[in-house]
Structure 1
Amino acid sequence: MSEIVTMEAAEALPSDVERLIAKTAPQRNAAVDAYRGLVMLLMMGEVLQFAAVARSYPDSLFWHVLAYNQTHVEWAGMGLHDMIQPSFTFLVGVALPYSINSRLSKGKSFGKLLLHTLWRSLVLIALGIFLRSTHSAQTNFTFEDTLTQIGLGYTFAFLLAFCKSKSQWAALATILFGYWLAWALYPAPGPGFNYAAVGVPLGWHHNFSGFASHWNKNSNLGQAVDVWFLNLFPREAAFRYNGGGYLTLSFIPTLGTMLLGLQAGEWLRSDAPKIPMKRFLIAGTLLIIAGLLLHLTGICPVVKRIWTPSWTLFSGGICFYFLAAFSWVVEVKSQRRWAFPLVVVGMNSIAAYLIAHLWEDFIVENLHINLGYGVFRLFGPGLEPLMLGIAVMSIYWLVLYWMYRRKIFLRI
């Protein structure tokens, strides 16, 4: 399913960060690794349970802000947690030009690259289904999670990477407009639509009215496709709706996010060793403005859960800002020492993803068995979830650091 890649790494202490990074990854972009590391830490950081702490301190704005940004918004809008999946997807696109160039330089033919890409896509889809099935009585065929969404679009992004920049932008525009048009032409739910039948509770205040209602929860084109598509697979019970409103069809605009990352990666390679800061900032600003205009005019709301075209633009703009910020600090200002903990995680993102999804219950159970509960209540019962989460996060990072020091990098 995957391979262990050995890279030359220096046996150095964290104090020798600049020498370590330079020798470990001479052809890697440390800013990209640090950005990816932040994304993975945000995902792994769910164990910190800010929402549980906020409930213990109902009058604390600090904890409520942290809790808000560690959960997905219910429908329209964005919190920091909502940027995990688009950032991960965007960075897959950023890495594509480097990956293709590396393999071509080793004499790999286009055919071999394509076969490897198809294999990688299948593995990502299979891995996503496997992780979604870990607590199920049978295989849970679902295609809306991060890995399967990337896997479904990855081969298309690979093929477009061999096209000229103008063709890539044209493909992005075609994908987003075509997807928007298909949803706009699909019948909107009428005033008598039975939302309760598709898992939308009575009094839910996030549905749109008018033209924007084409993008209401579980009453849209993507929902109709999933009711047909997901019931083609063996299931414990017939699929009726996804409780969070997530959709298989979202892989199409998700591909758009990957293409934005592909463009950023090509700018990084073509301008190297300079950082195309101006391009990043201009692209980010224009994309955010475009996404907001579509949302505010009601043409296409910004909704992450169904990955609307306006969300692709809006979140893509924020990804460009993140990449610009990390590039400026890490590459332009050469402030790499602080980025070391992020780089450790970012260079082993697949391992981090698996650890976060498979190890949490095991680690928590063993911490309680061996240390008891009292040690996590030293600062009061309200902070117990946070202290437990810090212990779990520390173990996650130490495992990844151990892998880093021993030159073990998991790749698909």
Structure 2
Amino acid sequence: MQNFKTPSLRLDSIDIFRAATMFLMIFVNDLWSLEGVPKWLEHSEAAADDMGLSDVVFPVFLFIVGLSLPFAVTNRVVKGDSQRTILIHILERTFALLLMGVFLVNYESMFSEGMLLPKYVWGILLITAFFLIWNVYPKNPEKTKLFTGLKIIGYLLLAFLAAIYKGGEVANPSWMETHWWGILGLIGWSYLLCAVAYLFLKDNLILVVAAWIFFVAFNIADFAGLLGFLDNTREYFWIVGSGSMPAFTMAGVAASAIYMKYQPKGKSQLFILVLVGLGIICLVYGFALRPFWGISKIRATPAWVGICSGIGFIVYAFFYWLVDIKNTKKWALPLAPAGTATLTCYLIPYIWYAVITIFGISLPPIVRTGMIGLVKSLIFSLLVITLTGIINRLGVKLKI
């Protein structure tokens, strides 16, 4: 475990990049509540050869997950954690993300008719259970039993919600299924693959880049029809997104591995040039592959992977220059909670949407249409982040 280099245990640019991306994620996730939204902001249809802003936000977030990974692993090594301890932590985080992902996906496809609880009450209790289980409780020996009890209540609540669940169609109800893993589940699988890879590859830049190229190549090979011999295993064992999701995350891991190679030598400018260069290469291969399968987030095409990876590299190069080199950070203070309490920030809107549906709260059409509607969603995103900061100070903060 001593092969890890520790030039810096944290980069402010990563937190601010994450916060800005989370701000955009909340914004685009709120577009469903608007009318007259410009097409370039929305998700593109599966069959379309197109990409809107909403199609870029999630892959960039996966890229940031990768950026953070080497620093998270290195921090644990510095604290004295063994490889086994770190691996257990990785598995625990993966389990939490997959569990939350499955519940949230099934929440979307459930119905209230014939259920013990209305759908949106079920949803509020679901998020409550998440907070009970994964809240960061104070290290107070006198309250250990209380905090343990709250976590147990959270798990029991999840079990109860699962037991009464009904989804599918009213005429043919079904129980919870992994229709797809959801945003959190996709993050979980990508995190697992890339975290384990980095844990064993350490900061060997050549091997890290090779792992990234493997996921990219796997994605291309699947679309090119070269993986037909694996069809029998596809239903039971497959790389999430046909390699696309971990490709984004491993690209971020590669960026941080490059930083760890050049930063100790005082080559910050070279680091930026390398990031921009990689970004351009990704954009070129993305647009070069577009004529074959088009650009599509839903189909996770190679062109989408290349273009969004390129955006991740180039935008992060800008944030690194702005934040870590120029030390320009104050502008990001209102967004700070989204960078450090990201999961809390992501889950709060679920409660809000459930509450306004239960009580029939609706804004006038003028506030939900066109440019005014977009401003409304931007304000909503900022309010969610502000609320996250407030409840963090009150001792409520999710961490897995």
The alignment's TM-score, normalised by the length of structure 2, stands at: 0.69
Query: What corresponds to 1:111 in structure 2?
Result: 84
How do 1:12-411 and structure 2 match up within 5 A? Answer: 27-46=9-28, 49=31, 52-54=34-36, 64=38, 67-74=39-46, 75-135=48-108, 136=110, 137=166, 138-161=175-198, 162-163=200-201, 164-185=204-225, 249-250=240-241, 252-270=243-261, 271=263, 274=268, 276-296=271-291, 298=292, 300-363=293-356, 368=361, 385-386=373-374, 389=377, 392-406=380-394, 409-411=397-399
Q: What is the aligned-residue RMSD (CA, Å)? A: 3.4
Deviation sequence 1:198-250 (CA, Å, 0-9, x none):
xxxxxxxxxxxxxxxxxxxxxxx99x988x569xxxxxxxxxxxxxxxx9841
Is the 1:50–1:70 contact (alpha carbons within 8 Å) kept by the matching residues of 2? no
The alignment's TM-score, normalised by the length of structure 1, stands at: 0.67
- How far off is 1:103 after superposition? 0.4
- Greater helix proportion: 2
- How far off is 1:94 after superposition? 0.6
Match of 1:185, SS state, is: coil
Which 5+ residue runs of structure 1 have no aligned equivalent?
1-25, 55-62, 189-220, 231-246
CA 1:88 to 1:317, structure 2 compared with 1: closer, same or farther past 3 Å?
Answer: same
Deviation sequence 1:78-118 (CA, Å, 0-9, x none):
22111111111111111111001100111110011111111
Is the 2:240–2:246 contact (alpha carbons within 8 Å) kept by the matching residues of 1? no
Is the 2:31–2:377 contact (alpha carbons within 8 Å) kept by the matching residues of 1? yes
| Whole-angstrom distance in 1 between the partners of 2:29 and 2:206 | 43
- How far off is 1:119 after superposition? 1.5
| Whole-angstrom distance in 2 between the partners of 1:389 and 1:333 | 31
Which 5+ residue runs of structure 2 have no aligned equivalent?
1-7, 111-165, 167-174
Match of 2:56, SS state, is: helix
- How far off is 1:127 after superposition? 1.0
Identity %: 22
| Whole-angstrom distance in 1 between the partners of 2:381 and 2:59 | 22
CA 1:326 to 1:407, structure 2 compared with 1: closer, same or farther past 3 Å?
Answer: farther
Is the 2:341–2:398 contact (alpha carbons within 8 Å) kept by the matching residues of 1? yes
1:34 alignment partner AA: I
CA 1:73 to 1:155, structure 2 compared with 1: closer, same or farther past 3 Å?
Answer: same
Is the 2:40–2:51 contact (alpha carbons within 8 Å) kept by the matching residues of 1? no
Match of 1:78, SS state, is: coil
Match of 2:81, SS state, is: coil
